[in-house]
Structure 1
Amino acid sequence: MHSSLGDMLPQTGAQESVAKEGSSQKKPPKKRSTKSKDRSQATVENLVRPFILKDEDYKRLMEIMLGEFNKGLGKETNPTAKVKMYPTYVRDVPDGTENGNFLALDLGGTNFRVLLINLNGQEVTMESKIYLIPQHIMTGTGEHLFDHIAECIYKFMNNHDLLNQKIPLGFTFSFPCKQMGLNHAVLTQWTKGFKCEGVEGEDVVRLLHEAIKRRGDIDVECLAVINDTVGALMSCAHSDRECAIGLILGTGTNACYIEKLENVELWDGDNNEPKQVMINTEWGALGDDGCLDFIKTEYDRQVDKHSINPGRQTYEKMISGMYMGEIVRLALEKLRKHGLLFNGKGSEELSTRGRFYTKYVSEIESDVDDHFKNTKQVFEELALEKYSDEDCRIAQYVCSLVSTRAAFLAAVGVATLLNKMERPDVSVAVDGSLYRFHPHFHDLMVEKIEQLIKPGLKFKLMLSHDGSGKGAAIVTAVANRLRESQSESIGENGLEN
């Protein structure tokens, strides 16, 4: 992290590089150049200083976050809580005894995946096939959608000679749902271009089972429906039993963690062992009641105002990939309008909302020397015609401030969960393009979490692989194991869904 623009300037001749355009004509006296340089540097820093939060801001944020988590977990406070803390009904991580074949479905966009996953102790083998969901089915009836899904399952099972087997299935359904049980999830609203009638307000697992029954030629039971945070956690937990937090840092951000049942006032399942459940925090909505206004910048307010959901997902909008590029663009445009970038001349691309992609932030920050190869490439893509090395440095500085703030804010969330859980050693499963591709995000998060967690607690961040496929199968395998052990102990199938 660069605390000042001066940190990014070369040590010798730090004042040499005002805009290069036109500098070959007449060089101003060095003294004057130094003063104007210092002035412009100070002005740049003033305009982006709101992104730099103090240590006490992060500590205050932790207190706020813990309060919001507890509100979401409380029976009386949950209805008005912005952070909903949904119980997922997933009770345990794998213990290594899970064996057999499991199907997984992954529906979250126009492509739909069916996976066959074989678990044999620590060994995992996977085969998968992607099926397209045509536009007319995305906007047709719910019955057509689930018939299409069942048809894809049939084709997949037929191709893998599985039609004569009964196979447990896990379903990653990446749309907003209210979880009513491990295999009961009610769709609250369609997103991502889907608009199938007759599905909102309905249990998606029931609709899937009805479609399978209508066919009558496959024997599949959905034991678990999950979201991507749980998938990330379970995928990592298969190889690391200390995994107890799942974190998504991609287009959006969300986290889940393992909570003691005694702290979950909304719990309506059984109280058998293990006395714990994974909680889907839905923490992106933190701040929707104004509790984060003390760290909001004018740039955040603009992003929110022009988003498709103004006033919602406040915390997410300061962190995730869907918004980071736009925050940087707004800051660069402000600097340009003040004559501090590109000699005041921009481009249509730079002034177009959403045109500065978050991948540009990662690319610009991946430059390691003063050739600025990536930064210049980004400028070319934005049709910026004249720029200096100084412009490249300023762009790097702005990107680093915005991404550092995002990483630190995400770290606050993780540290708050670690402190709340008080487990001596926790692995955090992380998935998402922002974490995967940004060159410094991991290191920045580790640095800040280490500052914020209680003494004696240990943690590590690990990249999760294919949570939506492998994770769904593992949740199903664990559910199957718990169901079988419970039916053995009580003499009948007594697993409470």
Structure 2
Amino acid sequence: MAVAATSPSLGPFSPVRSPTKRRILQSRMAVRSTGTIVTPILIDLQKSCATPLPVLRHVADAMTDDMRAGLVCDGGSDLKMILSYVNSLPTGNENGLVYALDLGGTNFRVIRVQLGGKDERVVDTEFDQVAIPQELMYRTSEELFDFIASGLAKFAEKESGKFSLSPGRKREIGFTFSFPVKQTSIDSGILIKWTKGFAVSGTPGNCVVACLNEAMERQGLDMRVSALVNDTVATLAGARYWDDDVMVAVILGTGTNACYVERTDVIPKMHGHTSSGNTIINTEWGAFSNGLPLTEFDRDMDAASINPGEQIFEKTISGMYLGEIVRRVLLKMAEVDALFGGFVPEKLSTPFALMTPDVCSMQQDITSDLGVVGSILNNIFEVKSSIRARKTVVEVCDTIVKRGGRLAGAGIVGILQKMEQDSEGLIFGKRTVVAMDGGLYEHYPQYRKYLQDAVTELLGSDISKNVIIDHSKDGSGIGAALLAASNSKYA
């Protein structure tokens, strides 16, 4: 993702303060008993990122209100509240060979699943993952989809004898497409816009299934898409296959999104449809922005992004951005507060040089001298750091991650509130499962804890014990295959 730096590039160890000014500066700094350097920047950051209960409640209530507005009409709120056209979830009776194609970021996955019906369920699976060359993220739609279809064709060629296709049937695909799409049917949808750093020309405004079908035809690949789904919808379907109490699914990885099971009779924009059934709503909650506690670093990062003013919730809570926010804070602390001894390493000015996995590793460091933190700072930024500086870096990391996890928890409560209000109290009074997927949630224990803490604080212990947040690893891949089977053209 191309993001402009917020300050000019400095020499590797260029002095930024005269000795006199540095003495004045250092007189403004204090040291906690823990050894952390406390500066006005850190104090302001912690104040701006604070998420006490009233802030969380405001965010949750705003999420609920924006969901309602988005269900009234398209454009009614920041939340698109997209109809998925998934009106029936997998039952366990699905059988046969199905494929899934999962495009959600810098990789795409292809999955092969043999389903055995109620008795055997998932008989066997195979998958492959292919990295998308970065240049294809900025090229044409035809080039991107040709690359994807080529990978799918190579995978299909390796189909072994343990997978069997029923006579007279064509290989069907569940296509997980994790970008904002205006769904027009279960197997068609118009791309609204690219996110997650993609800027492929020729796709927005067109049906992504048609783009894939045309590419498969060019590859001579005899397959058909029977279900187009978002990764959150697929995650919900995959988790619901094993647990009937799953009602919400959330992705917290490079990007973020959420979906939930909604009653069709409370969706005004279904244009008079009076069915009493259920459907899945893809909220596209990454675009939420109401009442979020933002800092100057968030605003600068947003302004320098390829989509300024958009996806504010995603830029505050998801894995693509947490490391970058931390980097921007450290850069200012190095320039203004002499965090690294009054010198600013050049690489500290490189956008996205610090990734969220690096932030996670620094927070896991339990060594007495925070050696892991020191190594990461040296390896990425070529900076030597004192123990006090390392403790300050960890505190910055914790401040940004705590805000992100707690805001994600408030978003989940906002969805549950909406469901509770329209179900006459049937959500909070029973076991309700939120299926979670994504590397940020899976691999970052502090983030998970902050998220769960926020849910418990908002709902109270009596209600929150009924809300089960359950990790659903790889749920989107299996879920897409299951939805392909349950929406098969040959069923």
Match for 2:57 among 59, 74, 83?
Answer: 59
| Counterparts in 2 of 1:385 and 1:430: CA distance versus 1, 3 Å | same
Q: Give the aligned residue type for 1:174.
A: S
Q: Answer with 1 or 2: which has the greater Rg.
A: 1
Query: Aligned to 1:342, what secondary structure does the other structure show?
Result: coil
What is the CA deviation profile of residues 440-460 of structure 1, one whole-angstrom value per residue up to 9, with x for unaligned ones? 111211111011126535112
Tell me if 1:257 matches 2:260. Answer: yes
Moved more, 459-468 or 188-197: 188-197
Instruction: Please provide the CA RMSD for this pair.
Output: 3.3
Q: How does 1:190-205 map to 2 (within 5 A)?
A: 190=194, 195=200, 197=202, 199-205=203-209
TM-score normalised over the length of structure 1? 0.79
Q: Which residue in 1 is equivalent to 2:80? A: 84
Q: Give the aligned residue type for 2:67.
A: F
Number of residue-to-residue matches in the alignment? 443
Match for 2:378 among 372, 377, 380?
Answer: 380
Q: Once the 2 structures are TM-superposed, how far is the Cα of residue 240 of structure 1 from its aligned partner?
A: 1.9
Q: Once the 2 structures are TM-superposed, how far is the Cα of residue 388 of structure 1 from its aligned partner?
A: 1.7
Distance in 1, matches of 2:44 and 2:443, equals 28
Q: Once the 2 structures are TM-superposed, how far is the Cα of residue 464 of structure 1 from its aligned partner?
A: 2.2
Preserved contact between residue 62 and residue 412 of structure 1 (Cα < 8 Å): yes
Q: Which residue in 1 is equivalent to 2:473? A: 465
Preserved contact between residue 264 and residue 273 of structure 2 (Cα < 8 Å): no
Tell me if 1:102 matches 2:85. Answer: no
Q: Give the aligned residue type for 2:122.
A: E
Query: Aligned to 2:126, what secondary structure does the other structure show?
Result: strand
Q: Give the aligned residue type for 1:253.
A: T
Q: How does 1:208-357 map to 2 (within 5 A)?
A: 208-209=212-213, 218=222, 220-267=223-270, 275-287=277-289, 291-292=290-291, 295-339=293-337, 341-357=339-355
Match for 2:395 among 389, 394, 397?
Answer: 397
Q: Which residue in 2 is equivalent to 1:24? A: none
Q: Give the aligned residue type for 2:208.
A: V
Q: Once the 2 structures are TM-superposed, how far is the Cα of residue 336 of structure 1 from its aligned partner?
A: 2.7
Tell me if 1:430 matches 2:436. Answer: yes
Percent identity among equivalent residues? 34
Distance in 1, matches of 2:345 and 2:140, equals 44
Q: Once the 2 structures are TM-superposed, how far is the Cα of residue 145 of structure 1 from its aligned partner?
A: 6.1
| Counterparts in 2 of 1:478 and 1:373: CA distance versus 1, 3 Å | farther
Q: Which residue in 1 is equivalent to 2:69? A: 71
Match for 1:442 among 448, 454, 474?
Answer: 448
Preserved contact between residue 93 and residue 237 of structure 1 (Cα < 8 Å): yes
Query: Aligned to 2:432, what secondary structure does the other structure show?
Result: strand
TM-score normalised over the length of structure 2? 0.80
Distance in 1, matches of 2:435 and 2:316, equals 21
Preserved contact between residue 419 and residue 453 of structure 1 (Cα < 8 Å): no
Q: Once the 2 structures are TM-superposed, how far is the Cα of residue 110 of structure 1 from its aligned partner?
A: 6.6
Q: Once the 2 structures are TM-superposed, how far is the Cα of residue 319 of structure 1 from its aligned partner?
A: 1.0
Q: Which residue in 2 is equivalent to 1:451? A: 457
Tell me if 1:187 matches 2:191. Answer: yes
| Counterparts in 2 of 1:116 and 1:302: CA distance versus 1, 3 Å | same
Q: Which residue in 1 is equivalent to 2:19? A: none
| Counterparts in 2 of 1:189 and 1:56: CA distance versus 1, 3 Å | closer
Q: Give the aligned residue type for 1:247.
A: V
Distance in 2, matches of 1:194 and 1:47, equals 35
Greater RCO, CA 8 A, separation 6+? 2
Moved more, 235-244 or 409-418: 235-244
Q: Once the 2 structures are TM-superposed, how far is the Cα of residue 37 of structure 1 from its aligned partner?
A: 3.3
What is the CA deviation profile of residues 195-227 of structure 1, one whole-angstrom value per residue up to 9, with x for unaligned ones? 364x43222334444566678873x43221011
| Counterparts in 2 of 1:411 and 1:137: CA distance versus 1, 3 Å | closer
What is the CA deviation profile of residues 123-180 of structure 1, one whole-angstrom value per residue up to 9, with x for unaligned ones? 3421234567789987777567666656655554454266864233211123332111
Query: Aligned to 2:62, what secondary structure does the other structure show?
Result: helix
Preserved contact between residue 232 and residue 467 of structure 1 (Cα < 8 Å): yes
Q: Give the aligned residue type for 1:416.
A: G
Q: Once the 2 structures are TM-superposed, how far is the Cα of residue 184 of structure 1 from its aligned partner?
A: 1.3
Query: Aligned to 1:258, what secondary structure does the other structure show?
Result: strand
Distance in 2, matches of 1:92 and 1:334, equals 51
Q: Which residue in 2 is equivalent to 1:21? A: none
Query: Aligned to 1:232, what secondary structure does the other structure show?
Result: helix
Distance in 2, matches of 1:116 and 1:167, equals 10
Q: Give the aligned residue type for 2:281.
A: I
Q: Give the aligned residue type for 1:317.
A: K
Q: Give the aligned residue type for 2:307.
A: N
Distance in 2, matches of 1:183 and 1:323, equals 32
| Counterparts in 2 of 1:135 and 1:284: CA distance versus 1, 3 Å | closer
Distance in 2, matches of 1:141 and 1:340, equals 45
Preserved contact between residue 95 and residue 241 of structure 1 (Cα < 8 Å): no
| Counterparts in 2 of 1:434 and 1:142: CA distance versus 1, 3 Å | closer
Q: Once the 2 structures are TM-superposed, how far is the Cα of residue 283 of structure 1 from its aligned partner?
A: 0.9
Q: Once the 2 structures are TM-superposed, how far is the Cα of residue 278 of structure 1 from its aligned partner?
A: 0.8
Preserved contact between residue 286 and residue 314 of structure 1 (Cα < 8 Å): yes
Q: Once the 2 structures are TM-superposed, how far is the Cα of residue 365 of structure 1 from its aligned partner?
A: 0.5
Distance in 1, matches of 2:282 and 2:207, equals 18
